[in-house]
Amino acid sequence: MNKNHRVPSSRSLSAVEVKSKFGAEFRRFSLDRSKPGRFDEFYGLLQHVHRIPNVELLVAYADVHGDLLPINNDDNYLKAVKSANPLLRLFLQRKEEADYTTFGTDSLTRKKNTVLSAVLLRPDPNKKKPPVIISLPKDFRPVSSIIDVDILPETHRRVRLYKHGQEKPLGFYIRDGSSVRVTPQGLEKVPGIFISRLVPGGLAESTGLLAVNDEVLEVNGIEVVGKSLDQVTDMMIANSHNLIITVKPANQRNNVVRGGGVGGGAASGSSSDSGASYHGYLPHGAAATAGPTHIIQNFSVGELESDEDDEDVVIEVGGEAETIRRTPSNYSMPSLPRYEPHLNLRTATAANSGSAFSINANGNLRGSGGSSGSLTNTNASSTTPSPDRAKERRNLEEEGTVITL
Amino acid sequence: MKRFRRHGTESQRDRLKQELFQFTKTVEHGFPHQPSALGYSSSLQLMAIGTRSGAIKLYGAPGVEFMGLHDENAAVTQVFFMPHQVELVTLLDDNSLHMWTLRSHKGLSELLEIGRFLLTGPPGAPPSVTRVTAVLTHSSGELLLLGTEGGHVFIVEVPGFRELEEMNISLDQITSCVPDDYIGRRNLEHVEALQENPVNSNQVAIGYGRGLMVIWDLDHRLAIRHIPATQQLESMWWKEDGSCILSSHSDGSYCCWTLRTGEEREEEEKTNVPYGHFPCKAISKIVQLPTAGGPPFLLFSGGMPRASYGDRHCITVIYSKTQVAFDFTSRIIDFFVTRDGPQHTGEPSALVVLVEEELVVIDLQTEGWPVIQTPYLVPLHSSAITCSHHVSAIPLKLWERIIAAGVVQNTQYSKKPWPITGGQNLAPDPPQRDLLLTGHEDGTVRFWDASGVCLYPLYKLSTAAVFNADADLNDNMSQGAEGEWPPFRKVGCFDPYSDDPRLGIQKIHLCKYSGYLTVAGTAGQILMLELNDEAAEQTVEAKIVDLLQGQEGFRWKGHTQLDVREEPVLFPPGFQPFTVVQCQPPAVVTALNLHSEWKLVAFGTSHGFSVYDYLQKNNVLVKCTLNPSDQLAMEGPLSRVKSIKKSLRQSFRRIRRSRVSLRKHHISNTNKVIQEANARLEAELAEMELAPVQRKIEARSSDDSFTGLVRTLYFADTFLSDSSHNTPSLWAGTNGGTVFAYILYIPPAEHRADEALTAQPAKEIQLMHRAPVVGIVVLDGHGAPLPEPLETAHDLARSPDLLGSHHVLVISEEQFKVFTLPKLSSKMKLKLTAVDGSRVRRAGLAWFGSNRTEDYGESGLVFLTNQGDVHVLSLPHIKMQIRYPCIRREDVSGIASCVFTKQGQGFYLMSPSEFERFSLSTRYLVEPRCLVEAPLPPVFSNQHQPKLEGASSALRYIAARRVMEHALLNDESKSLR
């Protein structure tokens, strides 16, 4: 279906040559660099050109450094297309054939989670090459992380969900329940809040860090003891942009096992599941004895209280807006925005009210100076902002003077 | 408590907080929810009302109120004052008796519970033996006679609740003195009534359920005579001269039994079925009172023909040739008659009737028996309250005009003063005149004097006249035709049935300086009203505002808009409408604001908002906030969803109420079974409600429903465009966390009427957390909130500081945020929901004065959360000051009904009919302060002499017993030593 408009032999400079390898077979085709489309379309196209319509695939590409990187979502797909110069080399693999045992991970849990496994895919698992770090974490948008492993009891898990800038819903439900606590008087049944359901495809499910019947102990560092279900719901929603929940997993077998002599600090890596940077691969034997390896990350307290929701959007309307213009950067306004319906309405009203003001087309982005907002730092440190956010920003810029607070 | 742990400025601030803030629930205004018992003390001139939730409330002269609550959560079934004392006895549903007293403390009386008592029968006796069904407080003031379900009468000495076992009147003693032919036929059943002989306190009449009445001599402990009535007994009344006993029965009849001395058997004088021929309902209470030199007053409740008028709640008053059946709006709980004279034993003056939903007082001395307007216990819910609005410090001029308009409306009331006059109101005069305006479901707005302890109705405004309503307004007033039998007369104002729900008032805004009032309703109608002291006939100009602004794909499925009357309408003096604006689509108005200085009114619905110039009568601004994909808001089921929910809730309540209101003290075994089943059912229902509910955790998105619903509108003269020129502006906040700000151009005063007004969009803030914006406040250069319109013009407020930089405080349900003006950069914020999971439901500005230093005070932001807690935030630094639990969090309607005053007080509906008043301020407190003194011992005339003797003989008996017990105790103590 996509063939008609994707494969035509437009040999212009804007085209990306694609060379795709599946097993022993190669396919060549091209993509329009400016309109790469979405990942699922691309995935369908690959299945089509290889004539393997019902085969589950793992897609990977070789980047400029020769590293093999996965393609499994819109973001890394866009990045792959962007970085292809001029050739985009793809390596396809049957999902069920992918061999993970060499990575020294729990293959069963890995298999369930395609995101994780895809991230760790390497060109040829049979080659006994030393493990390479396949990418920098900043090239990826974090989805979730386990944090504060060193300070929490082993039975607890603190999970951070990065909703910000994501299309994916958080996707879980909570319920009332009762749990048993140990008190000096003996065992005591106390009311608690539990995860009751995970929405398939939601953020919570895709992380694999939360499960049904996990007891929720804290929301962004605040204990939920004594709070009603509605209160906890409201707390979670209020923190939804940067939700950190501490749970007591129903399944306690996958807990982090801390190295005895090393202490908590040693276990702290800075990695996330999609960030995919292992802090060094363990030797296979060690992995087998150490049990499941876990991705762990520590955050400072400041980051726990990160104020990403502070980014209220203020839109200046009308000619007087010039007074606050800071940067001379000018953007044209080529089209009406697609993502902010209320902006649409605003222009409509403006037209109706008859006052002939012009929508100021000045873009202005600036970080909030004083606050310890982690987002500002993230932005500053990341040389290449994620395409998603860049897109979002462009949208606002199209509309008029924008101040991001 | 904490201040010992802190030091320096912290402790200083803590001390200041103690000087500024203090939380107290002060008064309950309105009519008690679900009253269940009524008592009256003629010597104290106090009335007591018990409720189903176990509360007991005492009322005397206006302003004299006491309130007590039983620890047991059981209904109060009977209330009795001890004759000539300040004590009263309550009987609860759980068969416990409680003794209360009014104790003086520092010159003020307080209501205290001083004892409780549970009647214990002989071991092994069934519970019915001790189940109290009738209580008599003996005129000696020392004895309590308790008739039980088992037919026994227990005698208890008070205070102290000491059972006098020797004096008890057992069923056996009664049966032994009644002829066998009567006993043989039937069981006597429970004790239905106990009455004391008014002229001989040694004699009491015991009435049994089956009809038998026995006159018992307490002194000699024997039955003097018996009255063998054959109908099921409902009540007894011993005539004041002691000559005869009236009995009322379940078949709607009453009999008068003359007590002739020396005769063997009493003859039934006459049986009277007042509404006879066809079967009648029971006469539940009968009272006969003599008048000096005239025929007596006969009053009884019930007795209506079962088939035709069985559903009426009537009290019939018969005096001479006049007979009126007062037809009440709800079930009659009880009634009493007040009497003239220094000892309150003279002419009957007023009939006081407690019905389930209101208190009605009828003047029996004025021709036509008009109703006396009640100064308290006014049914706030005569039509359901839909919103309320509080205005502090009303200028005297406006106050007088509103009162004058109200006086014209209340001509039908009796001129007699309020007949219940007990106690002294010692509360100082309120420092200012406050108005509470309540909007009702039937389209009326009621104005209440909320300055003091009594919430007194001042004036009632009806908006229905503007519209072509289907219902005839005089429907309720229509009286029965001449010669109708029974001679009904409707009394009372409780009328919960709204003819047209679209008339319901949703928002009210009154400008106290200009006398302009705007009210907005369910069908998107906004009325502008002006106070006029004269009646006027005028056509109301109607204007339609399309809030959709050409939004496509729209289909409104809600109610239609109201038809405005095109012909001139005669409006009585008071607030008269001159313009009505109708929103299209006619969705419920969700935000309203009035700026009387600029002559602008702003209103919003779930579709958008608009500013209307009521001087030039045109729109200045219309803005659609609707998200095109928001079908739910488009189709407008909001009101429907709500009303379904409400009606479901109400029907549940009704079911529950009807269960509870099964006849109060006649609990037979079958009833118990039913009750248990009901309890089980209720438990199951409760369980069902608790059954695994789960809550979805999802970030808010712009696609959520009702994001465009306008929650708040605010006018401010501030720096919106640049920091050197302040301009009028309008601010609007939506449910989706968006704030719109518009610059308004208002022509100078001389051209105000002809030059066009314009509005220009200036700023827009999308809060990232997307929580509903519930309030917007601009703070001036000193950090103080901007004054109200016209406030500075009347020299009542300091003019705002226009030199320093202004800030805007945006209050969302989840957090408070301060932005600088005009740049709108975020300056401060306070998160609420993220920290403790509570959400802002109501917010208001208030000024708090220190109780130590006269001239110190500060502004604060008062808010109420969905958890029912009230908080105060300091301004402009938005720091939490204090937090108090105020309303149960389950009480959603209570939380939704809360309004704050400018002086740090608040009102919320604790039941559909009662406002609870609370105060957060140490300086402004409106609470009852009253004193009730013990009455002087009654002065007995010769006629009453036997009574005294009788009583004294009983007293002698008690005294003897006391001595004996004392002796016994001494012996015991000696042996113990």
Cβ within 8 Å, pair B625-A342:
yes
Burial of A326 (C-beta count, 10 Å sphere; 0-12/13-18/19+) = exposed
Instruction: Select the residue of A170, A348, A368 nearest B698 (Cβ to Cβ).
Output: A170
Query: Whole-angstrom Cα distance, residue B923 to residue B913?
Result: 28
Contact criterion met (CB < 8 Å) for A170 and B722: no
C-alpha B732/C-alpha B712 separation (Å) is 6
Q: Does A344 score more than 90 pLDDT?
A: no
CA atoms within 13 A on the CB side of A344: 14
Residue/partner pairs of A344-348 with CB below 8 Å, 24 or more apart? A345/B624, A345/B625, A345/B626, A346/A315, A346/A317, A346/B761, A346/B764, A348/B549, A348/B550, A348/B624
pLDDT band at residue A352 under the 50/70/90 scheme: very low
The residue of chain B with its CA nearest to that of A196 is B694
Nearest CA to CA, how far is B728 from chain A (Å)?
15
B762 and A317 within 8 Å at the Cβ level: the answer is yes
Instruction: Decide if B859 contacts B843 (C-beta within 8 A).
Output: no
Q: Is the minimum CB–CB distance between B477 and chain A shorter than 8 Å?
A: no
Rounded Cα–Cα distance for residues A308 and A377 (Å)? 11
pLDDT tops 60 at residue B846: yes
The pLDDT, as a whole number, for residue B528 is 94
- With CA atoms as reference, the chain A residue closest to B766 would be A313
- What is the pLDDT confidence band of residue A182, given thresholds at 50, 70 and 90? confident
Q: Is residue A154 within 8 Å of residue A258, measured between CB atoms? A: yes
What's the pLDDT band for B318 if we cut at 50, 70, 90?
A: very high
Choose among B549, B694, B763: nearest Cβ to A316: B763
Q: What is the pLDDT of residue B632?
A: 67
Distance CA A306, CA A368 (A): 13
| Distance between A138 CA and the closest CA of chain B, angstroms | 24
Instruction: Please report the pLDDT score of residue A67 as a whole number.
Output: 73
User: B397 CB near a chain A CB, below 8 Å?
Assistant: no
Tokens linked to B947: 């009574």
Instruction: List A residues 188-217 in contact with B (Cβ-Cβ < 8 A).
Output: 196-197, 204
Of B498 and A336, the structure prediction assigns the larger pLDDT to: B498
Average pLDDT over residues A339-362: 38
Q: Which amino acid is at B11?
A: S
Nearest chain A CA: its distance from B706 CA (Å): 13
| B333 touching A (Cβ < 8 Å) | no
Q: pLDDT tens across B783-820, in order?
A: 888 888 887 777 666 777 777 789 999 999 999 999 99
Contact predicate B82/B157, CB 8 Å: no
Cβ of A342 and B692 within 8 Å? no
Tell which B residues from 531 to 550 touch A, by Cβ distance under 8 Å. 549-550
Q: How far apart are the first and last CA of chain A?
A: 44
Q: Select from B598, B752, B764, B595 the least CA-distant residue to A349.
A: B764
pLDDT classification of A267: cutoffs 50, 70, 90: very low
Q: Which chain B residues touch A239 with a CB distance below 8 Å?
A: 834
**Residue A348 pLDDT level (bands cut at 50, 70, 90):** very low
pLDDT of residue B346: 85
Structure tokens at A246: 């501490």
Distance from CA of A330 to the nearest CA of B (A): 20
In three-state secondary structure terms, B730 is: strand
pLDDT band for position B106 (50/70/90)? confident
CB-closest option in B697, B761, B766 to A170 = B697
CB contact under 8 A, B696 and A176: no
A235 CB near a chain B CB, below 8 Å? yes
Inter-chain CB proximity B697 and A173 less than 8 Å: yes
**Joined tokens for residue B402:** 């509103």
- Token reading at B527: 């009325």
pLDDT tens for each residue of B351-362: 999 999 999 999
B578 confidence band (pLDDT: 50, 70, 90): very high
Residue A346, pLDDT score: 40
A vs B, Cβ pairs < 8 A, gives 175
Residues of B in contact with A308 (CB under 8 A): 768
Do β-strands B191-197 and B35-41 pair in parallel, antiparallel, or remain unpaired? Answer: unpaired
Is B622 close to A234, i.e. CB distance below 8 A? no
- Percentage of residues in chain B having pLDDT higher than 70: 85
Amino acid, single-letter form, for residue B300: F
Q: Which of A194, A237, A338 to mutate to test the interface with B (most CBs of B within 10 A)?
A: A237
Nearest to B699 among A176, A237, A357 (CB): A237
Q: Which residue has the higher pLDDT, A134 or B147?
A: B147
Judging contacts by C-beta atoms under 8 Å, the chain B residues touching residue A317 are: 760-764
Q: Which of A129-143, B204-218, B533-547, B823-837 has the lowest mean pLDDT?
A: A129-143
pLDDT, average across residues B332-351: 89
DSSP β-bridge partners for residue A212: none
User: Among A120-124, B48-52, B685-689, which stretch is predicted with the lowest mean pLDDT?
Assistant: A120-124
Radius of gyration of chain B (CA): 32
Least-confidence region, from A148-157, B84-93, B644-653, B744-753: B644-653
Span B483-499, mean pLDDT? 82
Taking a C-beta distance cutoff of 8 angstroms, is the pair B871, B863 a contact? yes
Vertex B326: Cα angle to B320 and B329 (nearest 5): 170
Cα(B220)–Cα(B357) distance, rounded to whole angstroms? 45
Give whole-number Cα distances, A7 to A27, A82, B927, in Å: 11, 18, 84
Instruction: Residue B238: name the closest of B268, B209, B204 by CA.
Output: B204
CA distance B542 to B544: 7
Tokens of B227: 């009255």
Establish if B738 touches chain A: CB-CB under 8 angstroms.
Answer: yes
The answer to whether the CB of B470 falls within 8 A of the CB of B464 is no
pLDDT (tens digit per residue) in B766-782? 998 889 999 999 998 88
Note the pLDDT of residue B556.
Answer: 82
Other Cβ atoms closer than 10 A to B383: 24
User: Which residues of chain B are within 8 Å of residue A341 when distances are taken between CB atoms?
Assistant: 627-629, 702
The whole-number pLDDT of residue A263 equals 37
Task: List CB contacts (< 8 A) between B867 and chain A.
Answer: 231
B831 close to A (CB below 8 A): yes
Window 698-717 of B, Cβ < 8 Å to A? 698-700, 702
Q: Cis ω on the peptide bond leading into residue B501 (within 30° of 0)?
A: no
> Quick one: which H or E segment has residue B13?
helix B8-20
Those of residues 863-902 in B touching chain A at CB distance below 8 A are: 866-867, 889
Put simply, whether A47 touches B (Cβ < 8 Å) is no
Q: Please compute the mean of the pLDDT values over residues B562-578 and round it to a whole number.
A: 91
CA distance A331 to chain B (A): 20
Q: What ipTM was assigned to the predicted interfaces of this complex?
A: 0.79
The closest alpha carbon to B709, from B618, B600, B636, belongs to B636
pLDDT of B968 strictly over 50: no
pLDDT value at B639 more than 60? no
Q: Does pLDDT of A116 surpass 60? A: no
CB < 8 Å to B622, chain A: 349, 352-353
Residues of B in Cβ contact (< 8 Å) with A314: 763-766, 819, 824-825
**pLDDT for B382:** 86
Buried b (16+ CB within 10 A) or exposed e, B311-332: ebbbbbbbbeeeebbbbbbeeb
Over residues B233-245, the pLDDT tens digits come to 999 999 888 888 8
Q: Are B328 and B360 in contact (CB under 8 A)?
A: yes
- Of residues A128 and B869, more confidently modeled: B869
Residue B66 backbone dihedrals phi, psi, to 5 degrees: -135, 150
Distance CA B528, CA B533 (A): 16
Mean pLDDT score of chain B, rounded to an integer?
84
Average pLDDT over residues B825-830: 90
Per-residue confidence (pLDDT) for residue A14, from 0 to 100: 74
| Segment B683-692, tens digit of pLDDT | 666 655 555 6
pLDDT at A395 over 60: no
3-state secondary structure of B786: coil
Residues 334-373 of chain A whose Cβ lies under 8 A from any Cβ of chain B: 340-342, 345-346, 348-350, 352-353, 355, 357, 368
Average pLDDT, integer, range B412-430: 88
Q: Which of B27, B26, B38, B28 is nearest to B359 (CA)?
A: B38
Nearest by CB to A174, which of B697, B758, B762? B697
pLDDT in tens, A127-175: 455 556 566 655 666 777 888 878 888 888 898 888 766 677 888 999 9
Nearest to A239 among B621, B834, B866 (CB): B834
Q: Among A314, A325, A366, A399, pick the best mutation site for testing chain B contact (most B Cβ within 10 A).
A: A314
Chain B 641-700, residues with CB within 8 Å of chain A CB atoms: 690, 692-700
Q: Determine whether the interchain pair B825/A171 forms a contact, defined as Cβ–Cβ distance below 8 Å.
A: no
pLDDT per residue as tens digits for the range B165-191: 888 888 888 888 777 666 555 677 889
Residue A388 clears pLDDT 80, i.e. is over it? no
Please enumerate, as own/partner, the contacts of B953-958 that have beta carbons within 8 Å and a separation of 24 or more.
Answer: B953/B202, B953/B219, B954/B138, B954/B140, B954/B142, B954/B143, B954/B201, B954/B202, B954/B218, B954/B219, B955/B140, B955/B142, B957/B167, B957/B219, B958/B142, B958/B143, B958/B157, B958/B164
| Residue B764 to residue A174, Cβ atoms within 8 A | no
Q: Do A237 and B839 touch (CB under 8 A)?
A: no
The dihedral region occupied by B706, where left means phi > 0, alpha psi between -120 and 50, and beta the remainder, is: left
Q: What six digits make up the tokens of B1?
A: 């408590």
Asked if residue A79 has pLDDT above 60, the reply is yes
Asked whether the beta carbons of residue A352 and residue B697 sit closer than 8 angstroms, the reply is no
Among B462, B460, B480, B459, CA closest to B471: B462
Q: Supply A189's token pair.
A: 């049944």
Q: Is the pLDDT of residue B7 over 80?
A: no
Work out the pLDDT band at B610, boundaries 50, 70, 90. Answer: very high
Burial string for B142-175 (b: 16+ CB within 10 Å, else e) reads: bbbbbbbbbbbbbbbbbbebebbeebbbebebbb
What is the pLDDT at residue B821? 86
Evaluate whether B212 touches B227 at the Cβ level (below 8 Å): yes
Smallest CA–CA distance, residue A105 to chain B, in Å, is 31
The predicted structure's pLDDT at residue A98 = 63
Which of A174, A232, A320 has the CB atom closest to B722's CB atom?
A320
Pick from B696, B697, B762: CB nearest A318: B762
